[in-house]
Amino acid sequence: MSPGEAERRLFGEALVCSDDLPWTLTPGPERADEILRHQAMAERLLRSAASAETAGPEDAEHSPQDVALLRMEAKIDLALELLGRMLAAEQPQPPPRPARWSRLGAQVLASSERAPGSRHLLSLQLPTGLNLPLRLPVEVLASEPREDGQIALWLAFSPVSAGLEAALERFLFRQHRRQIAAHRRGGN
């Protein structure tokens, strides 16, 4: 597949976000059960991120049970954040690099060639505060050397469930809204 065809397939009719994110691309998974396991974990992570983002008090008055529940939730959030930071310290992240992605796949710049048709695991460190990478099985659709020595790779997410595709779409929509809001706050 040509880079232009890959571009149209991944981004032609989908919401696209461009981010600077820490990401890695490692070989595998190959087996269908491994791919499904990674996809299920990715869907759970995206749903957890959405829940954490939308949770919060909706009215000013709460019963004592609601207040106690909110305090317990805040303590759990703090414990999870501390655990995430400890895990992140154990496994240093790569520096943020450009990534364009949609619910269908991603385009990244890599330092080495990957063969079209090869399967990999794309790990993205999302700006969710969860300190957990989103790991998505991908297939290389196309690659193209650039003048700066990097290789542009177009990566299709392995066929995903409707739930994962919807979770990706919701996450990307919220990320797109955050980018627009940040751009407006910047005075543009």
**Where residue 185 falls among pLDDT bands split at 50, 70, 90?**
confident
Q: Helices (DSSP H) in the chain: which residue ranges?
A: 3-11, 32-54, 64-90, 162-185
What is the C-alpha end-to-end distance of the chain, expressed in Å? 38
Q: What are phi and psi of 49, to 5 degrees?
A: -60, -40
- Over residues 88-144, the pLDDT tens digits come to 667 777 888 999 989 899 999 998 899 999 999 999 887 766 667 888 999 999 999
Please report whether residue 128 resides in a domain.
yes
CB 42 within 8 A of CB 130: no
- Residue type (1 letter), 56: G
Long-range residue pairs from 71-80, CB within 8 A, at least 24 positions apart, any chain: 77/52, 80/130
Please report whether residue 127 resides in a domain.
yes
Please report whether residue 163 resides in a domain.
yes
**Where residue 59 falls among pLDDT bands split at 50, 70, 90?**
very low
Please report whether residue 165 resides in a domain.
yes
Which domain covers residue 176, as residue numbers?
3-51+68-186
pLDDT at 79 over 70: yes
pTM, two decimals, is 0.75
Q: State how many domains the chain has.
A: 1
Please report whether residue 61 resides in a domain.
no
DSSP single-letter state for residue 61: -
**Where residue 76 falls among pLDDT bands split at 50, 70, 90?**
confident
pLDDT score recorded for residue 9: 92
CB-side neighbour CA atoms (13 Å) of 157: 27
